[in-house]
Amino acid sequence: MIGIIGGSGVYEITQKADSCETQLVKTEYGEVEVSILEIFSKKVAFIPRHASGHSIPPHKINFRANIDALKAVGVDRIIATNSVGSMNVNMPPGSFVIPNDFLDFSQNRAKTFYEDKVVHVDVTEPYCPSLRDVLTECGDVILGGTYVCTEGPRFETPAEIKMFKMLGGDLVGMTGLPEVTLAREREICYNSICIVSNYASGISEQELTIDEVFEMVAEKEVELLDLIYNFIKKVDDSSDCTCHHALDGAEV
């Protein structure tokens, strides 16, 4: 099954669904409401990361429950959407970027399913290259970029952005981690469509607001949904992938 995690402004993907039902999935980490849809004769599980109405801030998202719930309903491939600021002039507002690496500066989040045993999962390729290859065929995207995750909910300072750029960061957001690594621990393919809403602090000439994030997502909504639907149509959800064996050699 294909999983879609919707970020800011992406609260449903029912426009081309032939059917939709809602399941309340119980996990060890909490209950999660998952929409199960049929799109292009494929089963798709959808979760809005911030819940309807954008009621959950980034530092309060129950990442473990979300990933575990998708695993429980049979998801083995996830595409997430993440609104980001850009630190790279070659990734301007309005761009869709498919990242290939990350820097994790989040602080107070539960980052692993393995609290009581030793598991060292490999993240040489944290974002699934197979899903990346499919996304390149689905729309106008920029391939590659390092995603920097901060704790939030505040935006970053100009000095922080300067530091992130020096470390090789291209994009900055608050929701990409630990989502990507938790998916890897559950041996689920994962990739992200990063929607660039603005230039980051110190690069942008204006003060940053959440309004411009929602405005950009609304402006790009049709294009983004087309990208997601094209992905659902094109992806082979029966093929194997190295991501499905991420725990091989990881457990002590």
> Could you tell me the end-to-end alpha-carbon distance of the chain, in angstroms, rounded to an integer?
30
Give me the residue label for tokens 């149509």: 233
Q: Is 247 part of any domain?
A: no
pLDDT, residue 252, reads 62
Identify the pLDDT of residue 52. Answer: 75
227 near 141, Cβ under 8 Å? yes
Q: What is the CATH number of the domain that holds 186?
A: 3.40.50.1580
Distance separating alpha carbons of residues 126 and 46, to the nearest angstrom: 21
Domain assignment present for residue 114? The answer is yes
For the record, the structure tokens of 137 come out as 């065929």
pLDDT at 158: 94
pLDDT at 13: 77
Q: What's the pLDDT score for residue 9? A: 65
DSSP secondary structure, 29-62, as one string: TEEEEEEEEEETTEEEEEEETTTTTT-S-GGG--
User: Does residue 244 lie in a domain region?
Assistant: no
pTM summary value: 0.94
Residues 6+ apart with CB under 8 A from 190: 77, 78, 79, 80, 126, 127, 128, 131, 179, 180, 183, 184, 243
Check whether 127 has a pLDDT greater than 80: yes
**Would you state the structure tokens that stand for residue 112, as one six-digit string?**
């692993």
**124 lies in a domain?**
yes
pLDDT of residue 247: 95
pLDDT at 14 over 90: no
Sign of CA dihedral 58, 201, 94, 237: negative
Whether the predicted pLDDT of 126 surpasses 90: yes
Q: Measuring CA to CA, which residue among 81, 75, 76, 71 is closest to residue 12? A: 81
Assigned domain for 242 exists:
no
Question: What is the pLDDT, as a whole number, of residue 93?
Answer: 94
- Residue 183: give the domain boundaries: 2-237
Number of domains the chain is built from = 1
Q: Is residue 126 reached through a cis peptide bond, with omega within 30 degrees of 0 on the bond before it? A: no
Establish if 249 belongs to a structural domain. Answer: no
Q: Which of 54-68, 90-104, 179-193, 203-217 shows the lowest mean pLDDT across its residues? A: 203-217
Mean pLDDT over all residues of the chain?
93
CB-CB contact of 142 with 98 (8 Å): yes
Residue 115: which pLDDT band, with cuts at 50, 70 and 90?
very high
CA 102 to mean position of chain CA atoms: 12
Residue 110 in any domain: the answer is yes
In this predicted model, which residue has the larger pLDDT, 74 or 203?
A: 74
Q: What is the pLDDT of residues 27-65, one digit of tens each?
A: 999 999 999 999 999 999 999 998 777 789 999 999 999
Residue 252 in domain:
no
